[in-house]
């Protein structure tokens, strides 16, 4: 079985982390051994799920579902240890002040290290990653493009040798839609949708991939607009509530109509009022197709 890689991105505040958790849970319920990966040095899920700790090494959340938090430096250190084999030498390499400074300022190196680890399974290169499916709660839209461009940039800068070869291999894996899939989470609001459509266009033009758009927190109003408009004329709390719903429903439909047909697959997830994190994630997982 080929390892699936799912990248979930979107503008900050649209709920991409919760959607990523729901997608990971859904995949695990399908029988796959899933790793939910956070990027960066702070964990959203630690507080969201009330976990004791989320770190570099995967910890099990549920049957078939584990979680990890990866930084570029940690990914690079693990890869170096895998190649160098001798722990003392690896330690000497990374505890050197010059090398640490180089890692921190080298353009795209942390992003390249992260993507090297994410794609290590399909490429069969690097430390073993024993999961059928990786769901990456990736950076928000702007930083996500920088993440995607890192292998291509490194391959152009270093055209020969192992670094160039591995960069081209990572880039090819990202462009292979049988291995890597992309999910852009948005809200039915102007700015998030604009950013999402721009990101989708760039991913399509620069990488030849076709992201899925997930419209999150859609307010479902099971009443026709005409009925709401009529009820809104009443001078009462019901009338004011009907007016609010009519405005929301109309605005939401205007935004959804701006999604171009070329976008391809679009999913709509409803606004769910739920204060229990796992209950919310389970409900969303049940609605994802």
Q: Are 109 and 76 in contact (CB under 8 A)?
A: yes
- CATH of the domain spanning 4-221+263-287: 3.40.50.300
CA gap 178, 131 in Å, rounded: 16
* Least reliable range by pLDDT among 31-45, 58-72, 90-104, 228-242: 90-104
Q: 46-50, 83-87, 261-265 — which one is most confidently predicted on average?
A: 46-50
**pLDDT, position 79:** 84
Which residue bears the tokens 């002040």?
Answer: 97
pLDDT tens for 153-191 read 888 887 777 788 899 999 999 999 999 999 999 999 999
* Least confident range of 94-98, 215-219, 249-253, 256-260: 94-98
Q: Hey, how many other C-beta atoms are within 10 angstroms of the C-beta on 62?
A: 14
Per-residue pLDDT at 89 exceeds 70: no
Choose between 157 and 255: higher pLDDT.
Answer: 255
| The 59-62 sheet, strands edge to edge | 59-62, 65-70, 34-39, 133-137, 4-10, 180-187, 212-218, 266-270
Q: How far is CA 8 from the centre of its chain?
A: 2
The Cα 55–Cα 43 span in angstroms is 8
Q: How many residues does the chain have?
A: 289
pLDDT tops 70 at residue 1: no
User: How far is Cα 195 from Cα 259, in angstroms, rounded to an integer?
Assistant: 12
Using an 8 Å Cβ cutoff, are 245 and 223 in contact?
yes
Q: Secondary structure of the chain: what % helix, strand, coil (to 5)?
A: 55, 15, 30
H or E element that contains 68: strand 65-70
pLDDT band at 132 (very low <50, low <70, confident <90, very high): very high
Residues whose CB falls within 8 Å of the CB of residue 269, separated by 6 or more in sequence, listed in order: 19, 214, 215, 216, 217, 218, 284, 287, 288
Average pLDDT of span 67-74: 94
Q: Provide the pLDDT confidence category of residue 22 given band limits of 50, 70 and 90.
A: very high
* Whether the predicted model's global pTM rises above the 0.85 cut: yes
The answer to whether 187 and 216 are in contact (CB under 8 A) is: yes
Domain ranges of the chain: 4-221+263-287
The percentage of the chain sitting over the pLDDT mark of 70, rounded to a whole number, equals: 91
Reduced to 3 states (helix: H, G, I; strand: E, B; else coil), residue 128 is: coil
- The confidence score (pLDDT) of residue 98 equals 62
Cα 257 from chain centroid (whole Å) = 25
* Better-predicted residue by pLDDT, 144 or 161: 144
pLDDT at 93 exceeding the cut of 70: no
Q: Using an 8 Å Cβ cutoff, are 135 and 28 in contact?
A: no
Q: How many CB atoms lie within 10 A of CB 171?
A: 23
Give backbone dihedrals phi and psi of 105, rounded to 5 degrees, phi first. Answer: -105, -15
Q: Mean pLDDT over residues 103-132, rounded?
A: 87
């Amino acid at each position: 079985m080929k390892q699936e890689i799912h990248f979930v991105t979107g503008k900050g505040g649209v709920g991409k982390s919760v959607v990523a958790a729901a997608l990971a849970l859904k995949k695990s319920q399908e029988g796959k051994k899933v790793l939910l990966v956070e990027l960066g040095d702070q964990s959203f899920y630690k507080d969201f799920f009330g976990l004791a700790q989320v770190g570099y090494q995967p910890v099990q959340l549920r049957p078939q579902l584990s979680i990890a938090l990866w930084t570029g430096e940690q990914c690079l250190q693990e890869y170096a240890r895998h190649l160098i084999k001798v722990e003392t030498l690896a330690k000497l390499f990374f505890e050197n002040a010059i090398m640490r400074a180089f890692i921190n300022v080298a353009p795209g190196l942390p992003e390249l290290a992260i993507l090297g680890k994410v794609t290590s399974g399909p490429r069969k290169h690097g430390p073993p990653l024993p999961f059928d499916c990786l769901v990456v709660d990736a950076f928000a839209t702007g930083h996500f493009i920088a993440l995607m461009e890192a292998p291509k940039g490194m391959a152009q800068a270093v055209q020969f040798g192992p670094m160039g070869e591995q960069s081209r291999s990572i880039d090819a894996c990202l462009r292979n839609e049988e291995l890597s899939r992309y999910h852009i989470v948005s809200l039915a609001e102007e700015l998030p949708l604009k950013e999402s459509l721009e990101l989708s266009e760039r991913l399509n033009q620069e990488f030849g991939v076709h992201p899925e758009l997930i419209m999150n927190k859609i307010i479902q109003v099971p009443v026709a607009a005409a009925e709401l408009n009529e009820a809104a004329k009443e001078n009462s709390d019901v009338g004011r509530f009907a007016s609010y719903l009519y405005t929301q429903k109309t605005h939401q439909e205007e935004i959804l109509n701006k999604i171009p047909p070329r976008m391809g697959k679009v999913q709509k997830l409803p606004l769910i009022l739920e204060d229990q994190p796992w209950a919310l994630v389970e409900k969303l997982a049940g609605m994802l197709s």
